[in-house]
Amino acid sequence: GAGVSQTPSNKVTEKGKYVELRCDPISGHTALYWYRQSLGQGPEFLIYFQGTGAADDSGLPNDRFFAVRPEGSVSTLKIQRTERGDSAVYLCASSSTGEAGELFFGEGSRLTVL
Q: Is 31 in the site for other proteins (CB under 8 A)?
A: yes
Choose the stretch contacting other proteins; rule: CB under 8 A; options: 18-26, 31-39, 67-75, 77-85: 31-39
DSSP string, 25-62: --TT--EEEEEEE-TTS--EEEEEEETTEEEE-TT--S
| Site track 34-63 with other proteins (rule: CB under 8 A), x = hit | -x----xxxxxx--x-x----xx-xx----
Per CB under 8 A, does 112 bind other proteins?
A: no
Distance of CA 87 to the CA centre of its chain: 13
Rounded to a whole number of angstroms, the minimum distance from the CB of residue 82 to other proteins is 24
d(CA 76, CA 45): 15
What is the helix (H) or strand (E) element at residue 12, kind and residue range? strand 10-13
Which residues sit at the interface with other proteins, rule CB under 8 A?
A: 3-4, 31, 33, 35, 40-45, 48, 50, 55-56, 58-59, 91, 93, 95, 98-100, 102-108
